[in-house]
Amino acid sequence: MTSLFTRVQRPDAQSKGRGVRSRLPRIFGEGRKISILLVAVLALGQGIAAGVAAFATRDVFAAFRENDAILPTLALALIVIGGLAIAVLRVGERLLAERVGQDYAASLRLKLFKHLSRMSARSVSQRRKGALAMRFVGDLASVRGWVSLGVARLISACILLPVTGVVLYLLNPKLATAAAVPIALGLIAMTLIGPSLGPAHKRLRARRARLAADMSERVPHAPELRLLGRSEIETSHLRRRTKKLVASALERARGAAVLTAIPDVISGLAAAAVFWTALRAGASGADAAGAMAAVGLLIQPIRDLAGVWDRHRAWIAARDKCDAMLAAPKLELPNDKPAAPLPSVPCSLRFTNVSAGLLNDVTITAEPGQKIAIVGGNGAGKSTLLGLAAGLEQPDNGRVLLGDRNPVGLSAKERRSLLSLVGKHSPILAGSLRRALTMGVSDRPDDSKILAAADTFGLCETIDRLGGLDEKVSEAGRNLSAGEARRLLLARAALADPKLMLLDEPDDALDTDGPDLIENLVRQSDATALVITHNLAVARRMDLIWFIEDGKILEIGPPEVLLTCEGPTNRFFAPRRVA
């Protein structure tokens, strides 16, 4: 039974080391056990109602045999009541099962999202968007289907089949034995055929995920792919992927169709066996009619069992993928509890013997309130440094401390009040412009402060164009220009009034006033600021420059010194002076 519902979690290398893994929610956990027990009670009620209807059917046919002028009113009424009871109880069972399935899918969805939020930013960015979307859409649909259409119906069938079988036996043991043989053979055949759906489901899911990933990668760039002359090439690629997907879907459909056909075969064989036995044994027509009514009521739970196998195989494929995501290492929270909360003034930021990603044994300190330009070529480790400072990454070796705290261990409230990160992919979620400007701001400012910040960073025309702070910003700021989106993020950082400001190429996509805006942002605040930049004008306006190359800090000093002496910083900016 354990293998049908959830897999036993075993410790692995990842769970023993850094980043303890998350686990799949328990199907019978979080209050779902009571609902599943109610499903069982409703199934039992259907079995009792089926028994009443079967015995009443026998009584009606007995009245035919006796040529009684008095109508078997009670038996007829019981047939009607039994049918209505079965219908009502089945509807209740289905609705309750759907609620349980949706609740479990919601629980798993939140678990996956929380786990992703605890993974390093680098690990998340390396996953294909289409594959992630598949996890939250396709896989969760399979999970929901297994709980609501699989587990619930399996429980229902396991109750209905024996209850109805007992009713059939009480009606006539010989007829019950005759019907039991084809029913048992059919159930054995389903048990043997069902597992073969597993590989088909895995292939279908894998090909669906690859196609989803390919589509999510190409659709946003479809017009530019046409300009590159790639439309036909990419269309052919997608056509091949689709052809393989269709082949896998048909393979699964064939297996599922065979399973769902078995109950129909069982129905015919069981009916023939009942009639043949009734004729051979001289059973009454009433007994035969009652037995046929019971056999007819047995077929629905058998059909449900056929669907259970298909749902179970889909569940296994989806479960394994969700489980693999939950096994991905999370950022490890520090074990030691802070002695006191961080002060409401800028703190020092210290990197001690830090190695992570491209960074190699970096030791450096940003003093409280310093404005530091981080300079270096592409792939030098600058963004990794900012990710470590923000607590989005964890060092492989060494320590990162904000004051005396590990940034990874900061609470959500502390993060909102202390940190502000403007990255290359900082989120702008669909919603009002007001929400976009104040997302992550600990103390929500009034509209006058929001408008003042918007004016400082050149967003007045944007607000007028959209129609005010209540108007909508599209997903990822798609109704904003690249420059407007960057100005919005800078205004958000200013409104947050953080104690540590982390800016990754904040002047990207800005006009010539970019350096002025960056200087305004960092100088109007007492925050410690780390600013990644390739812009000489921005670097000149900081207190210090950290020059990074090949994961090491090669040079530290004031801009007026490093930009005038012979050294890597001066050589780095030399071509930009010429330009």
The ranges assigned to domains in the chain are 2-327, 349-578
CATH, domain range 2-327: 1.20.1560.10
Unique residue bearing structure tokens 């798993």:
108
- pLDDT per residue rounded down to tens, the chain (579 residues): 334 444 434 333 333 334 456 788 898 888 898 999 999 899 889 889 888 888 888 888 877 766 656 678 888 899 899 999 999 998 999 899 999 999 999 999 999 999 988 888 888 888 877 777 777 888 888 899 999 888 888 888 888 888 888 888 988 999 999 999 999 999 999 999 988 888 888 898 888 888 888 888 888 888 988 888 888 999 999 999 999 999 999 998 998 899 989 999 999 999 999 999 999 888 888 888 888 888 888 888 898 888 888 888 888 888 888 888 888 888 887 776 665 666 678 889 999 999 998 999 999 999 999 999 999 999 899 999 999 999 999 999 999 999 888 999 888 888 888 999 999 889 999 999 999 999 989 888 999 999 999 999 999 999 999 999 999 999 889 999 999 999 999 999 999 999 999 999 999 888 888 999 999 999 999 999 999 999 999 999 999 999 999 999 999 999 999 999 989 999 999 876 654
pLDDT for the residue 217: 84
Same fold, 2-327 and 349-578: no
Which three-class secondary structure state does DSSP give residue 544? strand
Which of 542, 21, 18 is closest to 326 using CA atoms?
21
- What are the tokens at 170? 């009480």
Distance CA 77, CA 512 (A): 87
Kindly report the backbone phi and psi dihedral angles of residue 19, in degrees, each rounded to the nearest multiple of 5, phi listed first.
Answer: 75, 70
Identity of the residue numbered 314: A
CATH superfamily, with its number, for domain 349-578: P-loop containing nucleotide triphosphate hydrolases (3.40.50.300)
Cα 159–Cα 160–Cα 164 angle in degrees, nearest 5:
125
CB-based contacts of 433, cutoff 8 Å, min separation 6: 462, 463, 466, 468, 469, 470, 471, 472, 473
Contact 364, 546 (CB under 8 A): yes
- 570 burial level (CB within 10 Å; 0-12, 13-18, 19+): middle
- 405 burial level (CB within 10 Å; 0-12, 13-18, 19+): buried
Distance CA 405, CA 499 (A): 14
Cα 427–Cα 433–Cα 434 angle in degrees, nearest 5:
100
pLDDT for the residue 11: 39
Element (H, E) at 531: strand 528-532
pLDDT for the residue 340: 61
For the chain, how far is it from start to end, CA to CA, in angstroms?
71
pLDDT for the residue 16: 37
Distance CA 394, CA 430 (A): 30
- What are the tokens at 29? 């956990």
Beta bridge partners of 547: 375, 555
Task: Specify the long-range contacts of residues 205-209, CB closer than 8 Å, at least 24 apart.
Answer: 205/134, 205/138, 205/139, 205/142, 205/314, 205/317, 205/318, 205/321, 207/241, 207/244, 207/245, 207/248, 208/134, 208/138, 208/245, 209/130, 209/131, 209/134, 209/138, 209/321
pLDDT for the residue 66: 61
Provide the angle, in degrees to the nearest 10, between the axes of the packed helices 173-193 and 231-281: 160
- What are the tokens at 345? 């003034």
pTM of the predicted model as reported, rounded to 2 decimal places: 0.81
CA 296 to the chain's CA centroid: 41
- What are the tokens at 380? 């030098």
pLDDT for the residue 77: 92
Task: Output the CA–CA distances (angstroms, integers) from residue 465 to 258, 291, 293, 341, 457, in the order listed.
Answer: 60, 75, 71, 43, 16
Sign of CA dihedral 180, 182, 188, 191: negative
